[in-house]
């Protein structure tokens, strides 16, 4: 399988990439950290490809996608795992630029990746887009208005996209539950007892993702199932 992963330099994105590579799949990844991308290139050379890409820049994403499609062809899966959170704070105290940064990465970045790669999937009449969501895409948490807004938006974006895609191409959201990541570490209010580390979560979640297809189009899935 050829798998595109955003946010590949840390957290769930990195853990998934490591599992897929170890199990014979080709990973095409992007992330914001140039140093971490260099390390991935050194550790996992071709056929894998890793690039430092700002997914909020639609022009750069488009150029990157065109190059990746030329090198690797149409991907089988696109995993939009990139996302950030912010320290808990009331909405009216969050600086406008901080709010905008989160929205740009979590929502616009996801849309930019889809916009760049979806035409190839549609032409090939196959492929699965997995947008990472959260329990906070269905509920509320004081101090996390920006993050909650972004994940509610991802749910709506994905369900609308699913209605637009032709048969054979699917879009769905995946909620990973309690996983210890840089993002979850900002949620002081959430009980993280029993939370898995990212690598442990990926050991079972990564093969599960590869079972997803047209039958799950438009669905919101939990892994582990709740």
Of 76, 208, 83, the residue nearest 129 (C-alpha) = 76
Marked catalytic residue, from 20, 77, 147, 223: 147
By three-state DSSP, how is residue 224 classified?
coil
Which DSSP helix (H) or strand (E) runs through 78? strand 77-80
Residues 174, 202 contacting (CB under 8 angstroms): no
Cβ-Cβ contacts under 8 Å for 180 (sequence gap 6 or more): 192, 195, 196, 197, 198
By three-state DSSP, how is residue 114 classified?
helix
Residues 146, 94 contacting (CB under 8 angstroms): yes
Instruction: Note the maximum CA span of the chain.
Output: 48
- From first CA to last CA, the distance across the chain in angstroms is 28
Residue 147 catalytic?
A: yes
CB atoms within 10 A of CB 135: 16
Give catalytic residues, as residue numbers. 147
């Amino acid at each position: 399988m050829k798998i595109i992963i955003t946010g590949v330099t840390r957290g769930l994105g990195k853990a998934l990439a490591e599992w897929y590579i170890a199990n014979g799949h080709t990973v095409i990844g992007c992330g914001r950290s140039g140093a971490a991308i260099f390390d991935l290139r050194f550790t996992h050379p071709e056929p894998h490809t890793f690039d430092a890409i700002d997914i909020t820049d639609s022009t750069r994403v488009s150029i990157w996608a065109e190059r990746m499609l030329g090198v690797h062809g149409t991907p089988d899966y696109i995993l939009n795992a990139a996302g950030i959170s912010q320290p808990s704070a009331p909405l009216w105290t969050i600086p406008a630029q901080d709010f905008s940064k989160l929205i740009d990465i979590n929502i616009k970045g996801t849309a930019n990746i889809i916009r760049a790669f979806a035409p190839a999937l549609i032409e090939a009449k196959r492929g699965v887009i997995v947008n990472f969501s959260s329990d906070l895409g269905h509920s509320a948490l004081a101090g996390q208005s920006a993050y909650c807004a972004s994940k509610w938006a991802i749910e709506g974006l994905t369900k609308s996209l699913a209605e637009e895609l032709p048969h054979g191409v699917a879009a769905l959201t995946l909620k990973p539950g309690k996983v210890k990541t840089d993002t979850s570490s900002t949620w002081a209010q959430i009980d993280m007892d029993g939370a898995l580390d990212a690598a442990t979560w990926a050991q079972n979640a990564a093969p599960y993702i590869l079972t997803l297809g047209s039958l799950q189009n438009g669905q919101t899935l939990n892994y582990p199932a709740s």
